[in-house]
Amino acid sequence: MDNPVARHRTAIKRQELSRPLRLACKDGLISQERSVFDFGCGQGDDVRHLTSMGVSCLGWDPAFQPATGPTDADVVNLGYVVNVIEDPAERASALRAAWHCARKVLVVAARLTDEVDTAGYANYQDGCLTRLGTFQKFYDQQELRSWIEEVLAEASIAAAPGVFYVFRSAEERETFVLSRYRRKIAAPRQRLTDRLFEQHRTLFDHLIEFVTNRGRLPIEEELPAAAELIAACGSVRRAFAIVRRVTVAEQWDEITRSHTQDLLVYLALGRFPRRPPFGVLPADLQRDVKAFFGTYRRACEQADGLLFSAGEMGQIDAACQAAPIGKLMPNALYVHVSGLGYLPPVLRVYEGCARVLTGTVEAATIVKLNRREPKVSYLCYPDFDTQAHPELQNSFRVHLQTLRIKHQDFRDSDNPPILHRKEEFVPSDYPSRGDFAALTEAEEACGLFADTARIGNRKFWEELLNRTHVRIDGHRLMKDEYIPPI
């Protein structure tokens, strides 16, 4: 009997990079220094896009590009391939073949259950047949992760919902994971003059950059021109004492505390699926552990304590109430994604547990940290910066006990939720925070927040503005001239 599945019909034309490759570029896994192979490239649009960006890229597809054949590359993309193969054994074989080609990292993407309404699709094998006669196997996020790890016997990292990375090197994997939890920190400004400092400013700048980025003193091999700095000052430690003298010393202490917290968050979340042995960590990370904690065992003990605290809702509630940033509501703390690094470590781990499951939700603007139940939600307000009261378009809710992810799409809703008081969600240095706060003050003065139970959705808010004879232009409240009916 003929196979009812028309696999070639799943290949679509793309006007931009596919989502998994766009993520890999954003995460720094794809660059002009790395080769890419698109395993199951369809009509080859991703290959053309990457090539136009100066990336060495080839592709193979059994229907559209059969001549190339599987080829080794630094990065291999298996994007939306496994979900269109109806035979489970062949599906696993394709995953193993793609992994065999990957010298550094394999990107695996598949469609998730929440993405499509399957009503009207016919059940077939372990998936369904679409109206076009194509096969689709829709996955749950955790199901996809478990299948990848079972087939390859390798740990995977969730890059985003439906997208996973599998690294060839454990060291590169850990470097990537740590980068997700390391905050960007600015170096303290110089406040005093010092002849030796000014005389060797370039040498000191290397030292300042290193300590800002790592939170600790370097060993000689880590610092450019270390020999010259030591010759001028006697030692790296003495050189840094000069740096502390000409800057705000307390800010260096805060930088060290910040890096220590980042490392604790990384180690706490490293328990999923299992924490790497000390010898697997990159050499610079090993030095961080020794500088901040003395021993790896002591670091892991503190990280475990932090992780267990994140499982206690009483501690989560207390941390939400004490958080220096975010909008505190009766059941949750709402924080703009730019402010996650300002949260107490226990809340960063709480949110990190959700991100281990989902990966990065690309369009997420606000993170909702539930205070009563172990749930974290990623809320997508794409017009957050430009619209005074942006509308919610999508949400991804992660239940940390059941490991389930629920997606809701509000784009077709005639009465979607909207935001108010945007300044409460963002850090104090957020670029437009002053505009947000000024609008809130004007709206309060106009009495628009009297009925807080109803203004959270678009329809009532627009009706309220009309009744009050005001309108919003950008982030300014404007009064309309009221003309009474004749």
How many residues in total does the chain contain?
A: 486
Angle at 474 (CA atoms; ends 472, 476), nearest 5 degrees: 55
Q: If you search the block for the tokens 């080609």, which residue do you land on?
A: 101
Identity of residue 49? H
- Spatial distance between the Cα atoms of 81 and 77, rounded to a whole number of angstroms: 9
Q: With beta carbons less than 8 A apart as the criterion, state whether 130 and 121 touch.
A: yes
Please give the full DSSP string across 13-55, using - where no structure is assigned.
--SS--HHHHHHHHTTS--TTS-EEEET-TTSHHHHHHHHTT-
Dihedral in degrees, nearest 10, Cα atoms 22, 342, 379, 326: -160
**Domain 7-168 top-level CATH class:** alpha beta
State residue 7's pLDDT score: 57
| pLDDT of 6 | 57
| Closest by Cα among 418, 411, 425 to 460 | 418
pLDDT at 185: 84
pLDDT at residue 1 in the model: 40
In degrees and rounded to multiples of 5, residue 439 shows phi and psi of: -65, -45
323-338 per-residue burial string, b: 16 or more CB within 10 A, e: under 16 = bebbbbeeebbbbbbe
User: pTM of the entire structure?
Assistant: 0.87
Cα gap 88→125, rounded to integer Å? 9
For every residue of 321-380, DSSP letters joined together read HH-SSSEE-SSEEEEEGGGGGGS-HHHHHHHHHHHHHH---TT--EEEEESSSSEEEEEE
**Residue numbers in the chain where pLDDT is lower than 50:** 1
Beta bridge partners of 327: 334
Long-range Cβ contacts of 227-236 (<8 Å, 24+ apart)? 228/200, 228/203, 229/200, 229/203, 229/204, 232/196, 232/199, 232/200, 232/203, 233/196, 233/200, 236/207
d(CA 388, CA 392): 13
The number of angstroms, rounded, from the C-alpha of 22 to the middle of its chain's C-alpha atoms is 13
pLDDT of residue 183: 84
CA distance 346 to 262: 11
Residues 190 and 247: their CA atoms lie apart, in Å, by: 4
Find, among 108, 204, 192, the residue nearest to 158 by Cα.
Answer: 108
32 exposure class (CB count in 10 Å sphere: 0-12, 13-18, 19+): exposed
Domain residue ranges of the chain, discontinuous segments joined by + = 7-168, 178-183+256-310, 195-247, 323-409, 429-479
**In 3D, which of 313, 302, 403 has the Cα closest to residue 356?**
403
- Asked whether 165 and 107 are in contact (CB, 8 A), the reply is yes
Q: Six-digit token pair at 460?
A: 């009532």
Helix, strand, coil content of the chain in percent (nearest 5): 45, 20, 40
